[in-house]
Amino acid sequence: MNRNELLSVANQFGSPVYVYDSAKIKSQYTRLTTAFGKVKNLKINYAVKALSNISVLKYIHHLGAGLDTVSLQEVQLGLAAGVPAEQIIFTPNGVSLGEIEEVAKLGAQINIDNLSILEQFGNKYPETPVCIRINPHVMAGGNANISVGHIDSKFGISIHQIPHIQRIVTNTGMRINGIHMHTGSDILDIDVFLHASEILFETAQHFDNLEFIDFGSGFKVPYSENDIETNIEELGERLSERFNRFCKKYGRDLTLTFEPGKFLVSQAGYFLANVNVIKQTTSTVFAQVDSGFNHLIRPMLYGSQHHIENISNPEGRERFYSVVGYICETDTFANNRRISEIKEGDILCFQNAGAYCFTMASNYNSRFRPPEVLWHEGEALLIRKREDFNNLIENQVVVDFKKVSTIEI
């Protein structure tokens, strides 16, 4: 999207507002499927947690993707978006057996990462196909906060516990139809990822009736100009060749599965915010916007960087600004960032705002969550309304204290 298109969205729907470019989502999906074009059976399951708007799910499914979900509610969102249950995989962590049973009733593919739950589920539902999430003890992600394959991770069943898995499978007679791993986000070192993949191939040989191997995702996207990213083309070339050799050894063609979230939607997203105040202190110039970590928490939570552009004055003289929000906490989006001169009323654009941005939004300070807009074929489509006061109180129960008796202590 260009600046004029973004400004038109801000003018039409107000600020703050999230905007998603469907063309970028499509190009990322095509890039991934092309990179693995030499694999006979490829399945992309979009990670719903990255951006869960029903219209986005519907569009990505239209491109050919299934869904990767982590909660019963995400499964229900996928079904509401028209995605068939058999194209949804459920990969939770730390949920109850009851929640897994509810999802199994809906017909989604179950993925289990806990020996206890595996045994309980296998005893009750031995005929239901189950995928097993393995922890390869390889940290392929670039950020320790979002790497999930290390030895102390709460995710997955340790590769050292394969004998325990085999015992459970034998005792319950359950059917294992998939093996899964996810090493973390922001993968840069392809050799490390391929090393983890070798562990997954070795694990897969212990099971005779597999239908797919799921390699997770975590591909890094660039967050600023000249930033590095996962070389999807090289990964596709090398992993495809290895996967095809494994299938030949295994004796039949399996499906190679990925579950990208950030890779598909991050760069497609923009967050637009209005500048309320320019505030000069003894050492800093603050640009204070009509938002805060209630709408975009990633810079404060992960230390993530989102390129910020003044789309109201893109050619202006650059100055140094600290961009902050209106929340009564320290909600700093950027410190001493070079941005084209900002005036009150300008619109700032935060890039890479498609993944883990709106989905982490809250009503902190009783602020309304912003609307979401899908930019599709030159048209701005409203896909979530801006909240209002009724949304804040609709689930609250007001107590009539005149009718409540008091007890003296």
In the prediction, which pLDDT does 155 show? 84
In the prediction, which pLDDT does 156 show? 85
Residue from 247, 328, 349, 357 carrying the catalytic annotation: 328
Query: Identical fold at 22-264 and 269-387?
Result: no
Domain boundaries, the chain: 22-264, 269-387
Catalytic annotation present for 247: no
Model confidence, pTM: 0.92
In the prediction, which pLDDT does 185 show? 64
pLDDT in tens, 33-55: 999 999 999 999 999 999 999 99
- Please tell me the CATH superfamily of domain 269-387, with its number: Lyase, Ornithine Decarboxylase; Chain A, domain 1 (2.40.37.10)
| Long-range residue pairs from 88-97, CB within 8 A, at least 24 positions apart, any chain | 88/45, 89/45, 89/131, 89/214, 89/257, 89/259, 91/131, 91/133, 91/180, 91/182, 91/259, 93/154, 93/155, 94/154, 95/71, 97/121
In the prediction, which pLDDT does 148 show? 44
Query: How many angstroms separate the CA atoms of 181 and 191, rounded?
Result: 16
What parts of the chain have a pLDDT lower than 50?
142-150
In the prediction, which pLDDT does 71 show? 97
**Fold for the domain defined by 22-264:** TIM Barrel (3.20.20)
pLDDT in tens, 378-408: 999 999 999 999 999 999 999 988 887 665 6
In the prediction, which pLDDT does 145 show? 43
